[in-house]
């Protein structure tokens, strides 16, 4: 429901490269948080508390040869820090729910590459230890399969190679006793159905579609997904915006 509200606002961004989408979203979220933080906290008090903490830390370093006095100052510094944190938390009352909703939209659109028309992908069903038998994959019109529709469980899992035309489909996995379903979306747009479906019974662990994960940034060989990329970029934006808005 909430994703439907956000789609008209953010979906046009999906025409851009994924990295740019994350950069724009990181800037918008950081800007919202910074502005709300500035106007929901007493900035004069925050500046005073921050200055006090800085002075106390300096005093602690100067008292390194007097552990007893250093501990007393450390205790005072912790109290000041707690006061600073308690005032900082007030802004979260206004930002928590909107940010969670936006994060939900990002996870639903920026975590995986779409499955393209005609592109072969795999779907798998995983079983708990000791489960044996055959499973048949029932495919709708528009979907084709490479290999047999019915396969035997091997090492707790069965996989099928599948491809299809553009569209939304429902795959059915029939065991000897029960049927399971999982949605798959084939499209040229930056969209996908939830790749992994957790099954809550004593037979099947999960059903998966192998959408490849998006690696939005390569940081010195460390390939980051949308969340890691967002965190790094938002830290940079936060440092810049807090200085521009003179936020303490």
- Domain-wise residue ranges, the chain: 2-111+225-244, 121-209
CB neighbours of residue 122 within 10 Å: 12
Q: Which residue has better confidence, 204 or 219?
A: 204
* pTM confidence score: 0.84
Q: What's the CA gap between 216 and 90, in Å, rounded? A: 33
**pLDDT, tens digit (0-9, with 9 covering 90-100), for 27-82:** 999 999 999 999 999 999 998 988 989 998 888 888 878 888 888 888 988 998 89
How many whole angstroms separate alpha carbon 88 and alpha carbon 55? Answer: 20
pLDDT over 90, % of the chain? 73
At 3 the pLDDT is 65
User: What's the CA gap between 192 and 136, in Å, rounded?
Assistant: 24
Tracing tokens 């600073």 back to the chain, one arrives at 84
Let me know the angle formed at the C-alpha of 105 by 34 and 6, rounded to the nearest 5 degrees: 85
* Distance set, CA 23 to CA 17, 104, 212 (Å): 10, 16, 21
Element (H, E) at 77: helix 67-88
CB 111 within 8 A of CB 228: no
Whole-number Cα distances in Å, 148 to 67, 138, 158, 159, 161: 74, 11, 11, 10, 10
- Per DSSP, 113 falls in state P
Q: What is the CATH T-level fold of the domain 121-209, as seen in this structure?
A: Immunoglobulin-like (2.60.40)
- Residue 129 Ramachandran class (φ > 0 left, ψ -120 to 50 alpha, else beta): beta
Distance CA 115, CA 191 (A): 9
Given a cut of 60, whether residue 1 has pLDDT beyond it is no
How many residues would you count in the chain? 248
The residue assigned the tokens 């479906």 is 197
Alpha-carbon distance of 99 to 106, in angstroms, equals: 10
pLDDT over 80 at 4, yes or no: no
Q: Which residue has the higher pLDDT, 49 or 174?
A: 174
pLDDT tens-place string over residues 97-141: 999 999 999 999 999 999 999 999 999 999 999 999 999 999 999
pLDDT class of 9 with cuts at 50, 70, 90: very high
């Amino acid at each position: 429901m909430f994703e439907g509200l956000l789609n008209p606002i953010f979906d046009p961004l999906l025409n851009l490269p994924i990295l740019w989408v994350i950069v724009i979203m990181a800037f918008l979220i950081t800007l919202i948080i910074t502005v709300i933080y500035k106007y929901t906290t007493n900035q004069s008090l925050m500046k005073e508390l921050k200055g006090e903490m800085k002075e106390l830390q300096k005093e602690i370093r100067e008292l390194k040869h007097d552990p007893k006095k250093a501990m007393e100052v450390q205790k005072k510094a912790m109290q000041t820090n707690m006061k600073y944190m308690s005032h900082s938390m007030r802004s979260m009352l206004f930002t928590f729910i909107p940010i969670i909703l936006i994060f939900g939209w990002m996870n639903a659109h920026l975590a995986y590459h779409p499955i393209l028309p005609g592109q072969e992908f795999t779907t798998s069903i995983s079983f708990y230890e000791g489960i044996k038998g055959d499973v048949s994959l029932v495919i709708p019109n528009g979907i084709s399969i490479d290999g047999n529709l019915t396969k035997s469980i091997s090492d707790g899992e069965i996989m099928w190679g599948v491809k299809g035309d553009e569209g939304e489909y429902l795959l059915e996995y029939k065991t000897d006793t029960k049927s399971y379903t999982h949605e798959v979306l084939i499209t040229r747009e930056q969209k996908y159905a939830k790749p992994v479906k957790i099954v809550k019974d004593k037979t099947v662990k999960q059903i998966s579609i192998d959408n490849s994960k998006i690696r939005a940034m390569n940081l010195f060989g460390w390939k980051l997904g949308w969340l890691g990329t967002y965190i790094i970029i938002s830290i940079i934006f936060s440092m810049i915006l807090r200085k521009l808005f003179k936020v303490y």
